[in-house]
Amino acid sequence: MNILLLGYGKMGQLIGQLSEDRGHSIAGKINIDNREDLDSLDVANIDVAIEFSQPEAAVENIKWAVDKGIPIVSGTTGWLDQKPEIEQLTLAKNGAFFYASNYSIGVNIFFKVNEFLAKLMNETSGYKSSVEEIHHTAKKDAPSGTAITLAEGIINNITDLNSWNLSEGVSDIEHSLPITSKRIDPAPGTHIIRYSSEIDDIEITHTAHSRQGFALGAILVSEWIQGKKGVLSMDDFLSF
Active-site residue numbers?
A: 135, 139
Which of 163, 197, 167 minimizes the C-alpha distance to 182? 167
Give the integer Cα–Cα distance in Å for 75 and 234.
Answer: 11
Residues 151 and 187: beta-carbon distance below 8 Å: no
Q: Which residues contact 179 (CB under 8 A, 6 or more apart)?
A: 130, 131, 132, 133, 143, 147, 148, 151, 164, 165, 166, 167
Give the integer Cα–Cα distance in Å for 65 and 202.
Answer: 43
